Chain A
Amino acid sequence: MIRMHELRKDFTVRVKAGRLRRTRRTVTAVDRVSLTVESGEMVGYIGPNGAGKSTTLKMLTGVLSPSGGEVSVCGLTPVPERTRLALRIGVVFGQRSQLWWDLPLAESFRLLRHVYRVPAAEHAARLRRCRDLLDLDAFLDTPVRQLSLGQRMRGELTAALLHGPRVLFLDEPTIGLDVVSKQAVRSFLAELGGTGDVTLVLTTHDLADIERLCDRLVVIDHGRVVHDGTIDQLHVRYGSRRSLVVDLDAPLPPGFELPGASLTSSEADGHRVTFALDGVPAGTAVAALVNAAPVRDLSVVEPGIEDVVARLYAATDAP
């Protein structure tokens, strides 16, 4: 559905050098990225600011033309075939609206039907589905400028889907949304992706989006793909472990060792300790611990993807 081969994008920036002189410098925003996304996949694209996520998305949608390499979406080359491609893809730019600012939301949808030349019956069916899933009815007649950000984003999602796109590109769809709206957007996208009709590619800074939605995670940094796989594979690869947080009535005896686990921290004068589990089941470790020490309370903590990604960014930052 999406094919990128050695895709590259260079930008020329002019940098001040002296009072009047300016020198040109070439910055590679996307550096020989090769990726293939199959039909029906849900791919999360993450990376720090300036990593090249949006640039890649812009090349996939025909907004920018690549400096090198090949790209094809739905079998079309985005730049010369921009308008034909536009009929087959949906795009939600978190910070750029597709809606008519001064018109009621319903009016924007009606106009988009003509822009994308969608048969009335199909349009009505898709709109009905979005209205149900995204609870649009309460604000369909409100001018877009008066909508809250969460309402507007639900409108943007609908707008991007009314022409039945094969691929939906979302650039930071949950940015700035409150918890409830984020949930609404996520469960809608999960439902949409679950049907398998639409290929989803989304960029985000909110890793919860990825955990909830994407079976595949692509991490990009300095224009290069540094990870491509599932979230679990990321954990395995970067050695993130589950940990056991234990509250004790008395500190552990000095030299205490728990088989298959290593002590990572000790707080409150030894009354709270954390073990990282090196592959043993949590039950085994807990049983061994309860036998050996006065345990008052304990909890098993799943590894946070945030930590893994932060470590990943830090690692690739080093030259």
Chain B
Amino acid sequence: MGELRAYAALLGGQVRSVASYRASFVIELFSNIGATALDVVTVFVLFRVVTDLGGFKLPEGVLMTAISAGGFVLADFAVGNVDRLKTYVRTGTLDAVLVRPLGVLPQLLLLDLPVRKALRLVVGVATIGIAIGLNDIDWTPGRVLLVVVAPVAAAVFFGAIFVISASLAFWWVDSGELGSAFTYGGRDFTAYPITVFDGWFRTIFAYALGFGFVAYQPALALLGRTDPLGLPAWAGYSSPLVALLAAVLAALVWRTGVRHYRSTGS
């Protein structure tokens, strides 16, 4: 309970810090909407040209993009700044975090929470709303639940990827943008029906790394379509489980990383 208050205080401190630069805060707040909107527009443009992508129509594709984008903006907002860890490790600022009576990861996330990205969340939710409107979904209680859970699970999944790739900094301070291949690359992968990819690339990204369960499978379940690639219908509802697995793995990597930092120092 006391800890929650402490985290709430950190959050409040970050909001006030960012707001202390009022003009740039407002400008960034709005310019950030543009970036997210652009991602979604890209998909519209693509479907305008091809009308049919990997066996899916425009509205169906938009639903996948929307779940992926919605989850990603939420993850990027809450966890994305964890990639600043490498700066913390390099400059030794992590020491200042370690001497406080709170968890390391929550502190880092709250101390750096990108408040200026908040409006992106609105765009994310709106996109999902539009995508639902474009499709003729046969609503069942399961699907109502799924439409709420899927973007959250996607966010958890992307958040796990963010944490894992940031953890690389514990071992290699100059890990650079290696992690971005999986965070931004993963987002782009999940924005399209996985049927457009093929071969080993699809096997690895969609199944081994789990990106196929982020947006593609839940979208199939919402639309009531069978998977052209042969997975059973319940696979669409497995996205929270996949996200949970990813989160557990991320927590494990993070803990090992912190322990490694403590045994090597800066």
Interface residues of A (CB under 8 A from B): 9, 11-12, 55, 58, 61-65, 67, 79, 82-84, 86-87, 89, 91, 93, 95-98, 100-103, 107-108, 111, 113-117, 143
Contacts and interface: CB of A to CB of B under 8 A. Distances in A.
A79 B262 contact: yes
Contacts of A11: 264-265
A97 B96 contact: yes
A12 B264 contact: yes
Given A55-B265, A87-B101, 9 more contacts: A58-B95, A63-B262, A86-B99, A86-B100, A97-B96, A100-B17, A101-B17, A102-B21, A111-B12
Nearest to B259: A65
Does more than half of chain B's interface fall in helix, strand or loop, or is it mixed?
helix
Most chain A beta carbons < 10 A, residue from B6, B99, B102: B99
Contact of B20 (A95, A102, A117): A102
Nearest to A29: B265
A61 B94 CA distance: 13
Contacts of B259: 65
A115 B9 contact: yes
B12 A91 contact: no
B13 interface: yes
A93 B20 contact: no
Given A65-B262, A93-B95, A102 B12 contact: no
Given A103-B20, A114-B6, A84 B13 contact: no
B95 A111 contact: no
A64 B262 contact: yes
25 contacts: A11-B264, A11-B265, A55-B265, A61-B98, A64-B262, A67-B263, A82-B98, A83-B101, A84-B101, A86-B100, A86-B101, A93-B96, A95-B92, A96-B92, A96-B93, A97-B96, A98-B96, A98-B99, A103-B20, A107-B13, A111-B9, A114-B8, A114-B9, A117-B3, A117-B5
Interface size class of B (residues with CB under 8 A): 20 to 34
B57 interface: no
A84 B102 CA distance: 9
Contacts of B84: none
Contacts of B262: 63-65, 79
Contacts of B96: 93, 96-98
Contacts of A82: 98
Contacts of A98: 96, 99-100
Most chain A beta carbons < 10 A, residue from B5, B8, B263: B263
Most chain A beta carbons < 10 A, residue from B8, B17, B18, B101: B101
Contacts of B16: 102-103, 107
B264 A115 contact: no
B141 interface: no
Most chain B beta carbons < 10 A, residue from A58, A63, A100: A63
B102 A115 contact: yes
